[in-house]
Amino acid sequence: MPSARVLKHVIDVHCHPTDSQIPEAVISSLPITICAMSTRQNDQVLVRNLATAYPHNVLPCFGHHPWFSHWISLNGEATSKDDHYRSLFLGKEGKGDPSDDQIAAFEKLLPSLPTPLPLAELLTDLRTNLEAFPSAMVGEVGLDRTCRVPFDYRLEHRELSPFKIPIDHQLAILEAQIDIAVHLQRNVSFHSVNAQKLTVDFMARMKARHGTTWNQISVDMHSCGLSPQMWQSIERAHPNLYLSLSTAINARSSSHKSLIAAASADRLLAESDIHEISQCLGRTWDMLCIIADVRGWEVEQEWDDDTGIPEDHWGVVRRVENNWKAFVSGNHNANGRQSRNVYSPM
């Protein structure tokens, strides 16, 4: 590991520390900044408390993950719990009758599911949390066409039901959260799995709907699994989109290296996507080293406070930190980046 003076400039842009124990000794001596995601109703407060206790290195992110979007009701309390889940998983009337197996699986699943949370209530909470933390982001939100609902999500070894969450339902919840992000001018951490085309269409729709205000916020495609070609076309269409990679997800296949090579140097960020806070530093650092290796950038072992270092001499930490600062400032120019050098010492 390099010196603490270098690590001070490292940002883990996506992790889930409230999903496991947080040892006081680890968090209080953490040399990097972490962006702590929330994913469902009961962890919003955990992220809030963590950011309150450690404001210097925890940036809170509030939002509802697509994996838990079936817990959210679009119709308020007008629909019963049974009707809500039945219409999501067994289909609406006229879609053909569910099979006996599907009905049996549904009956097994239903008791472990919570009373659905009305979307309006969720959005009020989201606004309250964002307003309480002026630098908070919206996340983790997004789209997932792979995930199946577990019979009991609280178990460590989750048996999966045959049910997926309908994409229209996911989209409705995502759009409502993104609307708040745009209105409150907050950046977004975005999950997209097996949904390339849907994600591209979604971004185009947001750009059309929100006009120039869309470019005032930044969106990070977290553990980005898009193809290099798809990323390059997204990058051209949206000056406000960034991508971050994790060893937890991306390093499972070698395609992340072609993505790192294909992306613009000024759109790359690094993340751990990990639950154990003790691994945030090591994992984010490993990803920075991979980025440096693919791009042929130096890895800083010591920090030079000189702000006049020419860009082609920047190491990976300075470059990725600079990208993060541009991400945080937003206000992207549709004709290219607003200003390439926004670096200033912390």
List of residues contacting Zn ion (CB under 5 A) = 140, 273
Which residue, 21 or 115, has its beta carbon nearer to Zn ion? 21
| CB of residue 275 to Zn ion, shortest distance in Å | 9
Q: Which tokens in the block code for residue 294? A: 């693919």
> Which 3-state string (H, E, C) describes the chain?
CCCHHHHCCCEEEEECHHHCCCCHHHHHCCCCEEEECCCCHHHHHHHHHHHHHCCCCEEEEECCCHHHHHHEECCHHHCCHHHHHHHHHCCCCCCCCCCHHHHHHHHHHHHHCCCCEEHHHHHHHHHHHHHHCCCCEEEEEEEECCCEEECCCCCCCCCEEEEECCHHHHHHHHHHHHHHHHHCCCCEEEEEECCHHHHHHHHHHHHHHHHHHHHHCCEEECCCCCCHHHHHHHHHHCCCEEEEECCCCHHHCCHHHHHHHHCCHHHEEECCCCCCHHHHHHHHHHHHHHHHHHHCCCCCCCCCCCCCCCHHHCCHHHHHHHHHHHHHHCCCECCECCCCCCCCCC
Which of these, 44, 250, 276, 9, lies nearest to 138 by C-alpha position? Answer: 44
Which residue, 273 or 300, has its beta carbon nearer to Zn ion? 273
| CB of residue 118 to Zn ion, shortest distance in Å | 25
| CB of residue 278 to Zn ion, shortest distance in Å | 17
Which residue, 140 or 300, has its beta carbon nearer to Zn ion? 140
| CB of residue 55 to Zn ion, shortest distance in Å | 22
Which residue, 273 or 321, has its beta carbon nearer to Zn ion? 273
Which residue, 6 or 249, has its beta carbon nearer to Zn ion? 249
Which residue, 57 or 192, has its beta carbon nearer to Zn ion? 192
| CB of residue 140 to Zn ion, shortest distance in Å | 5
Which residue, 141 or 198, has its beta carbon nearer to Zn ion? 141
| CB of residue 66 to Zn ion, shortest distance in Å | 11
244: β partners:
269
Which residue, 220 or 273, has its beta carbon nearer to Zn ion? 273
Question: Would strands 241-245 and 117-118 be described as parallel, antiparallel, or unpaired?
Answer: unpaired
